[in-house]
Each structure stands twice: as C-alpha cells, then as structure tokens.
Chain A
Amino acid sequence: MLLSLITFLPLVFALLICLVPKDSWIRPVALVLALVEFAVSLYLFKVFDPAAPGVQLIERMAWVPEAGITYFMAIDGISFWLVLLTTLLTPIAILGSWTSIDNRIKGFHAAVFVLQTSMIGSFLAMDAILFYVFFELSLVPMYFMVGIWGGTRRIYATMKFFIYTMAGSLMMLLAIIYLMFTARDTLGMMTASLLDLYTLKIPFVAGSFLNPQTLLFFAFSLAFAIKVPMFPVHTWLPDAHVEAPTPGSVILAGVMLKMGSYGFLRFVLPLFPEAAEYYAWVFLFLGVVGIIYGALVAMIQPDIKKLVAYSSVSHMGYVMIGLFAMNMYGVTGSVYQMLNHGVSTGALFLLVGMIYERTHSREISKYGGLAKAMPIYTILFIIVTMSSIAVPMTNGFIGEFMILMGTFEASRPFAIAAVTGVVLGAVYMLWMVKRVFFGPEGELVKDEHHPLHDLSVRELVVMAPLIVLIFWMGLFPNHFLNYSKASIANFVENRDNYRLVLDAPATSEKSAATFDVKSDSVAKAGQ
C-alpha cells in the first residue's frame, strides 16, 4: 500500500487545500503537507531492496477487467529516484513560490498537488493504460498552472503545450491498444500490464518501415520524444517555460520532462528491442543535434529564462544519447543525468525566478555587475552554473561523463560530436554569467529607487537542499547509483528478453518472493 499512499496522498492534500478557510494559511499548510509527503516517500529507503533487479512492492488488482486494464503499481531502481525527486521538488517549489504567486493561491496549490499525484503515478504505474491515464492527467494541472499564473503570452503557450503533448500521446494510446490485442492473440487474454507486454514477441522486419514493431516503436517514441523534448519536436518547451510561473518551470523541467525519458526506458527500449537497436542511430543523431542546437540557440537568447529553457533541450539530448547507447555506462549516466537535470535546472529556474521577482525583468542586457549588489546570490548561481556545465565535483560531471563513455563505446562519431556540446554548454552559461554578474553595472542594478536585496532566509532555505545535492551527487555518486545499479544492469543485460519480475529466483530471498507474486497474479488474471 505504500506506493498507492505516496501516489494518492497529494490528491487528498489537494482536497484539504480546498477546505482551508483563510487564504493566508494556505502556503504554510501546503508546505507542511508537501513535507509530510516527502517524509512518507523517505520511508521507501526502509522497504526498498537495492539488490533486487526486478520491480518491488507490487500492488496489483483489476481495474477494468473486461479490457485487461489493471491497477498495477511497482517500483524499481529506475523509478525510485524519480519518485523521490518529485517529492523533494514539490515542497521546494511551494516554498519558492511563497511571494511570487499572489492570486488564486488556493487553486495554485491544489494544482501543484494534483500534478504531484499524476507525476508519481506515471513513474510507478506498471500497466500501460494506467500509465497513460497518469501521463495525460499531468497535462491538466500544468495547463492551468501556465494558463492562469503565467506571463503575457500564457494562453498561447499553454495551448501549444497541451495540444503538442496530447498529439504525441494519443498515437501512443493506439499503439497500446494494438499491443493489448496482440497480447490477447498470443497470451489468450487482454492485458495492458507490462509484466505480460514484455513477453510479447512483436514481428520486426529490418529495413522496412511498415511492420508492426517499427510502427509501434515510432508511435511510442513520438509521444515520449515530444515530452522529453527532443529536437525537432521541442518547440513547445521554450514557450511553456518562459510563460510558466517559477514553480511551474521548476516542476516542468525538474520532473515532467523526465516522464518522457523514463517512458523511453520503461516502454520503448524493452518493448521493442529490435527496432530500438535498428533505429538507435536516429535517436543518437537527433540527440546530438539537440545537444548542439540547444546550446547554440541558448547562446543567443536575450532572456535568462529562455536560455535556461534551451539548455534543457541540450541536457535532455545527453539523456537521450545515453539511453540509446544502450550499455551500462550510457543508461546509468542517463538515469543519473535525469536526476542532475532535475536538481540543477530546477535550481536555475528558482534563481531566475528570485531575480525576476526583484526586478521584473529577465533580460540579460539590463543586468551586469550583479555580483557586487547580491554576493550570496552570485555564489549560489555560479555553483549551480558549474553543476549545469558539468564541472568535476558537481553532479553534472558524473552524469555527462558516464553518458559520453557509454556513447563512445556504442558509437564514436556521435560521442565526438556530443563532446562539443560540453564546450558549448560552458560557453553559453559562462557568457551569461559574465554578462549578468560581472562587468559594468546594468540599468537595473544601478537603479537607485529599487535597490536590490540579497537573498532572504526563505530563499536560502529553498536553495540549500539543492546546493547540498549538487555536491553530494557529485562527490558520492555511489550513494545514489547503488539503488539503481541492479535494475539498470538487469535492463542492459536482458534487453532482448527483459522481465519486470525475474523468473529465476536470484540470490536474495526477496526476488523469490516476487516470483510468487508474479505466478499468483498471472494465475488470477488468467481466470
């Protein structure tokens, strides 16, 4: 029940928020509730077995048995950290929006909690339709968040975000339905459970496009590529980010983009191994193009937030090439980079939001010499910048290094091209830092009517956990990777024959227990 509790607790909180009578109480109540959720999710450390390669803490029951849809939740080393990232970023986003969101705060916090439920749900769902439900549901609160509390072009941005994402995922729905009927024909029952879908052998013909596995592969890939977002379907992202309020950006970049890369890892690669292998070059290519293109476009942005948004395109390109390198280094690096990106880009958006709150401008050219006016802010910003451009000792370095190693092993030309992105990343970030923080004082910094204050205690508290994580993840990556290692190894080694729950009882007793659960549940579903 722990996973369901973690998933649906925020939904209960959303209702509680609606019942809070006074507007001034909402922020503290929401913060406390989000911390409660975080504390509950920390309990995962106690029950999660890092050595088990398959999924754990299985919860399974029928939902729509007529169509083979089950309520099937489970966790493994890949989703483990993503869930914790979600529960960590939510209280940070709430605390970060303490003063910036000043109208309809009840609706805003309710939306944050609904969003949290849908995000955690999509990381934990092991049934394709259940996943789809959470995946789509996450659009609704984000749609409201950008549309109501966003900037001037918010309606355009939010409509674009919604329609773009929905267009991709509906093709995936068709693909899921097709898989369910394939399962019915080969296994004798309608099922959308990944447990069964992984056992399907979908016909693949190399070189031809019109065969089931290739079409399904691209239908799924389109949905997730839009979400990641990969070049050339990334165009919704800068719009959504620029218009979104700061906490919206933090959650969007920090967690929602990972739903795309997680989808590749959970669905695309294991379900369609031959097609993934055959068309890996397409995604390696698009990933590399995304890295370089994102970096080049970020370089010329006049707006800090837009620059950070394009840097996301670039960073998510690394995640994608790591995944499609499909070896231990690459995939591990990608999983790590997902977390890094959540931490460092989340931190960057928070920092941009803090300065925007003071000056109501994000134009780089209006700043300059900020280091003198706001020294603490500058220090934090530079730390996060270092993490973003993957300087050793920060988290970004570990992720990008492993991804590049993995890509080098898989395909040298792509690795060589991708390395240029590291340089370009340093260029656009450091150039921005130079223009904003150093040099002659810009008009906003000079403005004597509105002197700039350095960070308040609240803002320091917001940043502190992220800064700690940046160094912790950079210095002791094994503290984190140990939890994912078994799952990733299982995925990489058995890619052609991937199983959520291992048939052969492995060394630990735990996997033997999960084996029983599996045969039990299959027997039940078969009845």
Chain B
Amino acid sequence: MNPTTPMDFVTLKDMLSIAPMAVMFLISMIPLLMKPLLGNRELNPKTVLLYNVGAVIVAAFMTTTIFGPSFGGKSTAFANAIVIDGITVWMSYLVYLVTGVPLMLAYDHVATRGRQFTEFAFLMMSSAIGMLILIMSNDLIVTFIGIETMSLCLYILVAMSKEQVLSKEAAFKYFVLGSFASAIMLYGVALLYGTVGTTYYPDIWVGVTKMITTNRMFLTGIVLVILGFAFKVSIFPLHAWTPDVYQGASTPVTAFMSTAVKAATFVSFLRFMNSEGYAQAPQLLTVMTWLAVLTMTIGNVAAIMQSNFKRVLAYSSVSNSGYAMVGLIAAGFGANYNGAATSVLFYLFSYTLMTLGSFGLVALFEKNENTSLEVTDLRGMGRKYPWLGMALTVLMLSLAGIPPTLGFFGKFFVFSAAIEQDMYWLAFWGVINSVISVYFYLRPIVVMYMSEDKEAEVLPMHILTRGAVILAAVAVVVLGLLSSPVYALVKKSVVNLF
C-alpha cells in the first residue's frame, strides 16, 4: 500500500470499482450452491452455462455503466491498491470475451460438459476474477494475489479432464513449476520491498529511476519479478511447460489459458515496465531482447517439428509471446511508452481473437477427449465443411501475418514500435520469425485442401462453438480492415494512463 495515504474505511467508490467482479463471483456461486442443496445432483449444463455467461454479460454491462463514462480517465481505489484506467476497462472486456467464449466451448465439449460442469464453470469464473484483479492492480502484492487466484483455479481446471491421461501429468507439472515461479516472484517482491519500502507501483517506478544502476538488491528484485511474469506468459527459458500443459488440458481450458492468462499477465507486466528508469540499464535491455528473440525463434522452430495440432498452437502461442515482448521492450526501454503499450494491447487483442478461434476449431474437430488432434486428421475437412475450412484458413493466415487481417496489423504495430525506438535487431528477428512461422501455419491449410481427400468425419453440431469460430474468423478480417477505429480505441485507453 502507498504509505502516504492511510488506509481508510472502504468507501462506496471502492466497492463500485470491484462491483463487476463481485457480481461475477456471486452469480457464479448460485449453481455451485444449488448443487449440494439439490442433493448433490448434477445440474443441467444449460442452466449452469446460462448463469455463468449471464454473470459475464452482467459484469460487462456493469463495467460499461460504471467505468464507461470516464473511459480514458484514471482513478484509484482501495488506497491506491487498484487503478481503474483505460487499460483496465479495455482489458476487462477482453477478459469477459475470453471467459464467455471458452465457457461456451466447454459446454459443447465432450471432456467438460458431462462431469462436474458446475464446478468447472465456477473455477473458470474465479480464474477470470483473478485476471480482473491482475489487470487493475497497482501494487505488487495485489498483482501477486491476482496471479495466484488465476493460477490456482487453472491448476485444477487442467487436472479436471477425466479421461485424458496427460491431464494429470500436465496439471502436476504446471502446479510445481507455477508454484516455483510464484515463489521466485514473491522473493523479488520481498527484495523490492526491502529496498524501496513499499510495493506500490509508482514508488517502484521511481525506485527504478533512482536505483537500478546503483542498488544490486533492487535490480535482483526487479529481475526476479520479471521472471515471475515471464513464466506466466511463457517466455524462453520458462516456456517449457506450455506445450505439455496446453496439450494435456481439455481444449476449452487451453483456449482459456492461452488467451486470457497471457493477456492479463502481459498487462500487469506492461504496468510494471512503465518507468523511464529502465533505459539506464542497457544490460537488462540486452537480456530481455535476447529472451524475446529466443522465445520467438524457439517457439516457431519447435512448432515446425510438431505433428499434434494442439502442440503446434501451443508453440505458436510461445512465439506470439515473443512478438508481444518486442512491443513490451519498446515500451519499457524506449522513449514512447504510450505508443508501444498501445501496440502491445492491440497485439494482445488480435492474438486473443485468432487463438480463441483456432482452439475453438480444435475443440470441434476433436472426436473425444482422449484422442489428440493430429494435423493430418484435418484431411478432407476443407471440402466437407467449407465454412469451417475457410475459418481455419483465415485464422492461420492471420496468425502468419498476411494482410489485411488483424494479425498483420498486430505485427505491424509491434514492429513499428520497435523501429521507432531504433530497436532494429528486435524487428529484424521478428520478421525472420514471421517467415519461419509461415511454414507451420500453412500446413493445416495444405492438409485440408491439398492432400488427397479421405472421407472426412462427421463433426458434432455444436452451434455455439461453430458460431464462435466463424465469428472469430470474420472479426479477424473485418477488424483487420477497420483496424483504425480499433487502434484508436486502444490508444485512447492508454493515452491518459499515467
């Protein structure tokens, strides 16, 4: 907490700023409580879905009414522990989107629908609440609470796929490594507290300007916190859990993890990097540059070697963290924080849409929870399901960065941010990696349309999933062409930031 403002009683304003979260939590509790009250009988999944999606929609509505009028402005609550600004509002909507859509995927999906869907949905909502805390946190302790709330729910969600043999292993791996990373981050927080005397972000930023070149303990603290963030967004060398966990979790959970966790953690990471002082530490810049380069390269090269579609997408998500990191480095170490932060947020938005759609397609194409989808299983799908084939084509081309899709503009803005700060090396590796990635993004298209046809399997008629996937593909093209208003909106959310 900021020591200069003594902790008051909780005011109405404080309560209002967390009202969407509270409502989400309360509504998602209803089905959970109904279940034991009705004699531990499994509820109709439709009821559960309605309650939870309803909660998300109500929360989105409340965000609009409470924060909408002052969009672009900035206010704090709970004695400055949380901050409500444009980024919070913008990213809240993204979190609502990436919670609502995976809930629908989970409702459709065989691995999650039948068993304990009530608990599943509740955990997902709780994880989303952790993310909401994370994106509005203005204090390292709150950040830590957010990350832990988000992650603890995820550990269970990953383990909840009953028949998938890999899910237990994945959950255990994720739990052990995740706890380790949390410990490292907490250690960093402790060191920062020891040197600065608070965990309040603005004080840390001032501390960076003053101490980053002189105080080793402070620098160690900064590095450890960065490592903690890096684990969550799977930056090399802390990315190794990603493919295993993404493969082991049931696909709706993967869709949720790969998008929401990354987006929320990157926002917090971005807030942490908002100090002009970082520019004094070129060594840190060098290290982070190399981390970004290696993340992109290893993600892309490893994705080429995968045959399992979920693992391909997992490595693609690793490499995408690298691209977002390019913008993040430009924001942290460059002179134009707002511009680069805008590019990162835009990138996260485009990445989220594309990845959500891709995992939605994986969820559709999977036969049951225990068969992992190989890329070659897509044979013949392009002809039998022209709309889905088209959607996958668009999403893959967008991930590869082919204009005029949203993915192209995402990369364009991120590379622009790097070039603006004269970080040509980063931008250079960014485009080299885009070329490498073309190979594995095009492979599903090759398999779908260009291989010898085989009798394609009949896919289940999952209206919600299909709708979400097609919408994602349409959005990727339409918002790509209309990237100007989207960019303006993101920019407005950043512009009055600090």
Residues of A within 8 A of B (CB): 62-67, 104, 129, 132-133, 136-137, 139-140, 143-144, 147-148, 154-155, 158-159, 162-163, 166-167, 170-171, 173-174, 177-178, 180-181
Contact A137 B404 (CB under 8 A): yes
| 30 pairs, A vs B, C-beta closer than 8 Å | A62-B484, A63-B484, A67-B412, A104-B383, A129-B412, A133-B403, A133-B404, A136-B402, A136-B403, A136-B408, A137-B402, A137-B403, A144-B449, A147-B446, A158-B446, A158-B450, A162-B438, A163-B438, A167-B435, A170-B434, A170-B435, A171-B431, A173-B431, A174-B428, A174-B431, A177-B412, A177-B416, A177-B427, A181-B416, A181-B420
Residues in chain B near residue A139, CB distance under 8 A = 402
Contact A174 B435 (CB under 8 A): no
- Secondary structure at the B interface, as helix, strand, loop or mixed, is helix
**B483 interfacial by beta-carbon distance below 8 Å:** yes
- Given A140-B397, A148-B450, A166-B435, are A174 and B442 neighbors across the interface (CB < 8 Å)? no
**A62 to B488, alpha carbons, bound, how many Å?**
13
Contact B431 A159 (CB under 8 A): no
**B491 interfacial by beta-carbon distance below 8 Å:** yes
Can you name the residue of chain A whose Cβ is closest to the Cβ of B484? A64
The distance from the CB of A392 to the nearest CB of chain B, in whole angstroms, is 44
Q: Which listed residue (A66, A137, A154, A177) contacts B484, Cβ 8 A? A: A66
- Given A137-B404, A147-B446, A166-B438, are A173 and B412 neighbors across the interface (CB < 8 Å)? yes
Residues 393-425 of chain B, each 1 if its beta carbon lies under 8 Å from chain A, else 0: 000010000111000110011011001100010
Residues in chain B near residue A66, CB distance under 8 A = 484, 487-488, 491
Residues in chain B near residue A170, CB distance under 8 A = 431-432, 434-435
The distance from the CB of A236 to the nearest CB of chain B, in whole angstroms, is 13
The distance from the CB of A72 to the nearest CB of chain B, in whole angstroms, is 15
The distance from the CB of A316 to the nearest CB of chain B, in whole angstroms, is 23
Can you name the residue of chain B whose Cβ is closest to the Cβ of A107? B449
Residues in chain A near residue B413, CB distance under 8 A = 67
Residues in chain A near residue B420, CB distance under 8 A = 181
Residues 430-450 of chain B, each 1 if its beta carbon lies under 8 Å from chain A, else 0: 011011001100100010011
How many residues of chain B have a CB within 8 Å of chain A?
32
**A133 to B409, alpha carbons, bound, how many Å?**
10
Contact A140 B484 (CB under 8 A): no
Can you name the residue of chain B whose Cβ is closest to the Cβ of A179? B419
Residues in chain B near residue A67, CB distance under 8 A = 412-413, 416, 487
Q: Which of B403, B434, B483 has the most chain A CB atoms inside 10 A of its CB?
A: B403
Residues in chain A near residue B487, CB distance under 8 A = 64, 66-67
Residues of B within 8 A of A (CB): 383, 397, 402-404, 408-409, 412-413, 415-416, 419-420, 424, 427-428, 431-432, 434-435, 438-439, 442, 446, 449-451, 483-484, 487-488, 491
**A177 to B417, alpha carbons, bound, how many Å?**
10
Residues in chain A near residue B431, CB distance under 8 A = 170-171, 173-174
**A174 to B425, alpha carbons, bound, how many Å?**
11
Residues in chain B near residue A132, CB distance under 8 A = 403
- Given A170-B434, A174-B428, are A154 and B450 neighbors across the interface (CB < 8 Å)? yes
**Cβ-closest 10 pairs across A and B:** A170-B431, A133-B403, A64-B484, A147-B450, A167-B435, A177-B419, A133-B404, A136-B403, A177-B416, A66-B487
Contact B446 A155 (CB under 8 A): yes
The distance from the CB of B394 to the nearest CB of chain A, in whole angstroms, is 10
Q: Which listed residue (A104, A129, A159) contacts B442, Cβ 8 A? A: A159
**A430 to B182, alpha carbons, bound, how many Å?**
75
Contact A177 B438 (CB under 8 A): no
Can you name the residue of chain B whose Cβ is closest to the Cβ of A69? B484
The distance from the CB of A69 to the nearest CB of chain B, in whole angstroms, is 8
